[in-house]
Amino acid sequence: MRFASVASALASIGTLVAAASTQGLYDLVERRLPQRSLNFAFELIETLHVNASKPQNDHYTISTASNGSIAISGTSVSALATGLRRYFVDVAHVDLYWFIGSRLDQIPPTLPRPNHTITGASVVPWRYFFNTVTFSYTTPFWSWSDWELELDWLALHGVNLPLAWVGFEKILLDAFQEVNLTTSQILPFFSGPAFQAWNRFGNTQGSWGGELPLQWIHQQFELQQKILSRMLDLGMTPILPAFTGFVPTALVDVYPNATVVNGSQWEDFPREFTNTTFLEPSDPLFSKLQNIVMTKQLDYYGNITQFYTLDQYNENDPYSGDLDYLRNMTRGTWQSLKAANPGAVWVMQGWLFTSNSDFWTDERIEAYLSGVEVNTDMLVLDLFSESQPQWQRTDSYYGKPWIWNQLHDYGGNQGLYGQIDNVTINPIAALANSSSLVGFGITPEGQEGNEIMYALLLDQAWSPTPIDTATYFASWVRTRYTGVNNSVTPQLYTAWELLRTSAYNNTNLTSNAVSKAIFELAPNITRLTNRTGHHPTTINYEPAVVVHAWKEMYAAASTEPNLWANDAYKHDFVDITRQVYSNAFASSYAACIAAWNTTNGTAEFDAHAATLLLLLRTLDPLLSSLPQFNLAPWLASARALAPSNTTNSTIPDFYEYTARNQITRWGPDGEINDYASKSWGGLVGDYYLPRWLTFLDYLRSVGPDGYEDGEVRARIEGVEVGFQVPGSGLGVRESTGDVRTVVETAVVPALRKMGIL
């Protein structure tokens, strides 16, 4: 009944289709605004056939129905969801966020009405989200409610093509069992809970610190069923995994004649954990396994997608560079996909062409891509388009449809960072210059902060001209801090404008991703500051500008003390303080080393060393105060996924170990030490601080002539190894939520002492 008036209003626009499929949106509104879904009316118009080979742009219209409800019509559920957020943000000034959750409940009791009809249209059919490794850096221990927030966020931001990797090991387990491998031959192949992404890529095999239990596999599979069902309800087409060719070494025991080669060694991992066995697509067993993997998913989930993610050579060079060989690899793989599901489209991350560009010459890329003989049977993710786009050099992937993606973040690093120009101007320019560009997307290794940069690109997918970032940031501020008086303290606008034109406007291509705090790195007398590349430690702006932004933020809370009770404000204030600390640490560190190098043991060295320690000691309680900046919830969420009905701590300890190991030593022996480091409470106080204490004590005891690198390394490693032990309680702090007290009693005095305030 509630659709009637809208239906007549829309009659002239297009054909109405069954309202039932909009149920997911009413459910979303009920989840976030209980009992308010009756105030909304969603209508689908013009059913667009979601056909992978001919995708079309979406559009929506927002108006007020005659009964006063908010009427949103659009070409797909995703278009409606995008329109819904547009209403929330532009008319009601509320939104839903990472970390702090939904602030939609701040909406006025009487819904504000749009005073004119608002329309929107996408400039690309596909809005993509996730990197294969986000499933290990960010989501490995997520509960269903974490996923619910994420999926609501994705829907409201117009995402209609997300990756869906959770629980894939269940499918592989089934498939390998069906070809007669035993469970005990299969389980040793899998990597631990925090490392599954690299096993799925064939970079790693096996698990250090324990074996992946069946319990994990079954529980993740159950989670995947919920995720997929919700994705469908919210109008998204999930991209499911497929069989890549990476197999347990034991496969060769069962099939001695199988055509296998060794994958390459990844990141100096020992042989037992890398050089993964790769079954070549030319072997009939490959097609058989592909068929089982795809059929199992069709059986479990239904024929819900045409899209399959499949990466064989991610940071892992092919066995041969012969062009015929490369073409055969893709042709065989493609045919196996089509045999199992005739509508299949192969989605591939294009990262290999960036990371292993020595191997991937233009002619090899062309040969490899040409094995997929129908262009629309493939979809390439240009992975790091804001900085190292590959689509120009590959002539738009030789005609394959592709997506422009912002990568932005490596390893879940946390610096304030963005490229407001490249993320708004470049995708629009690409659209004009490449006829096979079909989407914009987001491919962060870790979803760890700088949320505005992600929202910006997804909103750019609905704007034919580059978004004006000054207006965009101001609107972000207006909406983000709503709930205090319904008007926003002016200093907050100033703070974000300062950030927009500094940290968020990097144009220096030598360091083009989120920067890392050097205190997260193993202490050293050299090579910590000014690192460039994908884990830069450069500060590409005047640090004083961020201090200025901090002062404005702080002043805002003097003007409006209620801000201390505002979750968005608390989050952002902690985040900006973290950056001020990170920058201050870098300059004090440089001064400390210089003092040591000239005359160790002097008062000057001691003063700088004391500053470094003061920074870490006062940052730790600040970060701990909020759960999203605290280590404990990460560890607890890992343990929470272990079976609850046992007193045996082996499994929870193993899950916790993988959680600790990933963000610190990352590998059994520190293979990619500190890659996924975090400025988290507990980690700063019980890991980084002891490392720096050890280091500074050593420097105090020895001058440059007596310095022994091996000795320093050994001492620091002692701290690192000790921290891996699960159940030790090391780094576990409670979150009080009381940011204000820590700021007033610890942060402000520290910054004063350093002359920053």
- Residues lying near ligand NAG in the complex (CB under 6 A) are found at 91, 115, 179-180, 256-257, 262, 264-265, 271, 275, 298, 303, 306, 322, 324-325, 328, 341-343, 386-387, 389, 419-422, 426, 469, 501, 505-512, 522, 524-527, 529-530, 532, 538, 586-587, 590, 593, 597, 704, 709, 712-713
Residue 740, both tokens? 């204000």
For tokens 């742009």, what's the residue? 57
Q: Which is nearer to ligand NAG, 207 or 387 (CB)?
A: 387
DSSP secondary structure code for residue 102 in this structure: E
Minimum distance from residue 172 beta carbon to ligand NAG (Å): 15
The residue count for the chain? 757
Q: Which is nearer to ligand NAG, 527 or 753 (CB)?
A: 527
Locus of tokens 């870490």: 616
Helices then strands, counting H and E runs in the chain, come out as 29, 16
By beta-carbon proximity to ligand NAG, the closer residue of 401 and 652 is 401
Q: How far apart, in whole angstroms, are the C-alpha atoms of residue 754 and residue 589?
A: 13
> Min. distance of Cβ 744 from ligand NAG in angstroms?
28
- Nearer CB in complex with ligand NAG: 305/625: 305
Q: How far is CA 397 from CA 85, 494, 581, in A?
A: 34, 43, 43
Least distance in angstroms from the C-beta of 344 to ligand NAG: 8
Q: Output the six-digit token pair for 638.
A: 């890992």
Closest approach, Cβ 287 to ligand NAG, in A, equals 12
Q: Judged by CB, which is closer to ligand NAG: 295, or 637?
A: 295
* CB nearer ligand NAG, residue 156 or residue 294: 294
Cβ distance to ligand NAG smaller for residue 179 or 732: 179
| Residue at shortest CB range from ligand NAG | 343
Nearer to ligand NAG by Cβ, of 644 and 705: the residue is: 705
Cβ 303 to ligand NAG shortest distance, Å:
4
- Of 284 and 561, which has the nearer Cβ to ligand NAG? 284
**Residue placing its CB nearer to ligand NAG in the complex, 4 or 509:** 509
What tokens were used for 162?
A: 């997300």
Identity of the residue numbered 660 = R
CB closer to ligand NAG, 145 vs 705 = 705
**Contact (Cβ atoms closer than 8 angstroms) between residue 188 and residue 206:** yes
Smaller CB separation from ligand NAG, 186 or 638: 186
Question: Closest approach of Cβ 656 to ligand NAG, in Å?
Answer: 26
**Residues facing 239 on adjacent strands:** 163
In the three-class reduction of DSSP (H, G, I as helix; E, B as strand; rest coil), residue 108 is classed as: coil
Q: How far is the CB of 588 from ligand NAG (least distance, A)?
A: 9
62: β partners:
72, 118
Residue 193 and residue 698: Cα distance in Å, rounded? 36
Q: How far apart are the C-alpha atoms of 447 and 414, rounded to whole Å?
A: 9
In the complex, the smallest distance separating the C-beta of residue 732 from ligand NAG, rounded to whole angstroms, is 27
Q: How far apart are the first and last CA of the chain?
A: 62
Extract the tokens encoding 708: 């022994």
Longest dimension (CA), the chain: 85
Cα 202 to Cα 177, 248, 314, 318, 333, distances in angstroms:
19, 10, 8, 12, 16
Q: Are strands 40-44 and 59-64 parallel, antiparallel or unpaired?
A: unpaired
Specify the DSSP element, H or E, that contains 621.
helix 603-624
> Strand, coil or helix: what is 118?
strand
CB 23 to ligand NAG: min, Å: 21
- Residue 80 DSSP SS3: helix
Q: What angle do CA 372, 375, 377 make, to 5 degrees?
A: 70
Residue 288 CB, nearest distance to ligand NAG (Å)? 7
Nearest Cα neighbor of 757 from 618, 565, 628, 625 is 618
Q: How far apart are CA 396 and CA 389, in angstroms?
A: 10
Whose tokens are 């990476």? That residue is 246
Of residues 457, 377, 462, 373, the one with CA closest to residue 420: 457
Question: Measured from the CB of residue 373, what is the shortest distance to ligand NAG in angstroms?
Answer: 13
**Pick 271 or 645: Cβ nearer ligand NAG:** 271
Q: How far is the CB of 554 from ligand NAG (least distance, A)?
A: 23
Q: Cβ 322 to ligand NAG, closest distance in Å?
A: 5
